[in-house]
Amino acid sequence: MNILNQRFETPYETAPFSKINTTDFLPAFKTSIEKAKAIITSICENNNPPTFENTIEALEFSGLELERISSLFFNLNAAETNEEIQKIAQEVSPLLSEFSNDVALNEALFLRIKTVFEQKNSLKLTSEQQQLLEKKYKSFSRNGALLNADEKEKLREIDKSLSRLKLTFGEHLLAETNRYELHITEESDLDGLSEDEKEAAKLRAEKKQKKGWIISLDYPSYIPFMTYAKNRKLREKLSCAFGKKGFQNDELDNQSIVLDIANLRQQRATLLGYKTHAHYILEERMAKTPEKVIHFLNDLLEKATPFAKKEFETLSAFAYKNDGIEELQKWDGAYYSEQLKKKLFDIYDAQLKPYFKLENVIEGAFLIAKKLFGLEFKKLEDIDTYHKDVMTFKVLDNNSNYVAIFYADFFPRQGKRSGAWMTSFKPQYILNGTNERPHVSIVCNFTKPTKTKPSLLTFNEVTTLFHEFGHALHGMLANTTYPSLSGTSVAWDFVELPSQLMENWCYEKEALSLFAKHYQTGDLIPMEWIEKIKAAGKFQQGMQTLRQLSFGLLDMSWHGKNPTSIKCVKAHEKEVFSSTQLYPDVAENCMSTAFAHIFQGGYSSGYYSYKWAEVLDADAFAYFKTKHIFDTKIANSLKHYILSQGGTEDPLVLYKKFRGKDASNKALLERAGLV
């Protein structure tokens, strides 16, 4: 029997990665789909009147095996993919779309759900049960249950096409990232880079059996080169290569895919009775409408633009004074910003990195989680992983109760997409009286240890690790009955609150003193540097805010209006960016064709949520600061009302219960120095 269709006989029922063959996945998907279909048939054919238990709860737990296999497979496709996995993904995605539609468009099933839904006021349901009932009913009504037969068939075709297009978009992007290399043979072309970065570039070249150094488009290689390399021509070359991913009119081009995805999403929304894809998506978010999102973004844009323009003028003058740069270009931004930051604050990444050894930063995150939430992290050696770089930990509470299994995967690889994310292999839920605990993972792309040095993080990478760890805590501390309401299964503009909130501790003396120690001497980071880090945290916040807002506005331009009139991806994007643009446009570059968050991931009509959640996180941390950054009463309130509750209640209500009031953007603007 296929190992994937059985209960895992492993420690904590963790995935037995080394025993799973890639060829196991397709038959396992087919088997688990058939099992889920059989359960749904039995729900529909139940002769007893529909009840919450025999319909809503039964449906909720009908696809646990399928969801587990999906989690394993698509996490591998993101973190350790290959051609075989990508080929299976192209076969599996339409099967999953078809199954999802079979369920959503099942009239007998919807009739039972509708019957229970119409009795909701007379049923004695808990608030979590009410939320589940509401969610199940809406998942049907919002996904075609009220359509006629022809419309349902059309919806199926749209969903199949979308699932294929999104996969292809991501495959093109990964292939583009992997195929490009900047091969350097003269060491003088690396001037400005630290010895660590040079060594990492040399290792890259050695792996490809080439002499010299290789700079790739992976973040740990790309970012340091753009930030420190003095050679402006090479920065331009690398920047242009990065900016034209999916925009080269070749076999990996994403332009037509972007247009197709946007138009299919619009067709889907119209079919379901919504004005646009954004109207459809935002109905289930805190923001509720595209109009509210655009007002939110434009309000911040109005406040940030004067600061951003002033910062850009200062940066341009600095570049002209230092190197006679007549017009600042995109490939100059990171380089001169770093030089200016160094001058203004006398603090720079190369100086800070020795104090941020990866293992120490991980330990610091664990210590902070212990101080706030009473968690212990015990390293495990007996848990199977999908790659030798992946670390595993058992998470315990302060009474030594088992809380979660935590996976951490930190280094770039050929089969791993760029960026950083949190995911899970198993959700938390309660079934038959057993509280099933989650298996949570964070995936990042940090610089690998070299022959002579451990992995040393930039301060930006430190905040990235804390960000993903915040998501992980949201998953680990989940304590709900139903898997679809558990952990990070919350409104998308609420999900970034725990992650962005955790970043705040990276700027605090008491937190940094726990882990910011020199990897060779063990000396604590100088306290005056911490003040400089905090001051530098406000550096160019106007420009950073404009950049984030530009992405949110671009997202809404694709999804908050009917996109059928858009014929040219680049021309459309250029028009949208006109209100946020500081640097001259680069004709051969395009953002949309590589905007994986909205065209491959789940952020379509949701990119604004980073800024939305920043308002919440700044407000929440301001609450801690009224007492103490490790105040256990506030931490317990955060854990009780937000981290453990998942999607069991309206996020506005949960936030108000935690904070005692609604959030305002005052704390965010003050923190960013935009007042």
Query: What is the DSSP secondary-structure string of 516-570?
Result: -B-TTT-PBPPHHHHHHHHHHTTTTHHHHHHHHHHHHHHHHHHHSS-GGG---HH
Q: Which residues does residue 440 pair with via DSSP β-bridges, in sequence order?
A: 406, 424
Is 468 one of the annotated active-site residues of the chain?
yes
Partners of residue 357 on adjacent β-strands:
456
Q: What is the dihedral of CA 395, 399, 400, 406, to 10 degrees?
A: -10
Query: How far apart (Å, rounded) are the C-alpha atoms in residues 50 and 116?
Result: 6
Rounded Cα distance, 28 and 6, in Å: 10
Instruction: Convert 70-85 to b/e letters by CB count within 10 Å (16 or more is b).
Output: bbbbbbbbbbbbeeeb
Backbone φ and ψ of 155, nearest 5°: -60, -40
**Which residues are paired to 79 by β-bridges?**
none
According to DSSP, the β-strands at 391-396 and 376-380 are antiparallel
Residue 405 backbone zone (phi > 0: left; psi -120 to 50: alpha; other: beta): beta
Cα 500 to Cα 493: distance, rounded to the nearest angstrom = 12
468, 496, 503, 573: the catalytic one is 468
Which amino acid is residue 73, in one-letter code? F
Both tokens assigned to 624: 């801690």
Distance CA 437, CA 440 (A): 10
Spatial distance between the Cα atoms of 623 and 402, rounded to a whole number of angstroms:
30
Tokens of 653: 């209500």
Dihedrals φ, ψ of 640, to 5°?
-70, -45
SS3 state of residue 636: helix
Q: What DSSP string describes 185-197? A: --GGGGTT--HHH
Residue 346 DSSP SS3: coil
Backbone dihedral region for residue 188 (phi beyond 0: left; psi -120 to 50: alpha; all else: beta): alpha
Q: What are 13's two structure tokens?
A: 């029922």
Backbone dihedral angles phi then psi of residue 45, each to the nearest 5 degrees: -95, 5
Give every CB contact of residue 530 below 8 A, 6+ residues apart in sequence.
507, 508, 509, 512, 516
Pick the closest to residue 32 from 69, 74, 72, 7 (CA basis): 69
Measure the CA–CA gap between 389 and 400, rounded to whole angstroms. 27
DSSP states of 134-145? HHHHHHHHTTTT
Cα distance between residue 457 and residue 506, in whole Å: 13
Measured CA to CA, the distance from residue 293 to residue 611 in angstroms comes to: 10
Q: How far is CA 219 from the centre of its chain?
A: 15
Number of H helices, E strands in the chain: 27, 9
- State the DSSP string of 123-174: S---HHHHHHHHHHHHHHHTTTTTS-HHHHHHHHHHHHHHHHHHHHHHHHHH
Using DSSP's 3-state secondary structure scheme, residue 415 falls into: coil
Catalytic residues: 468
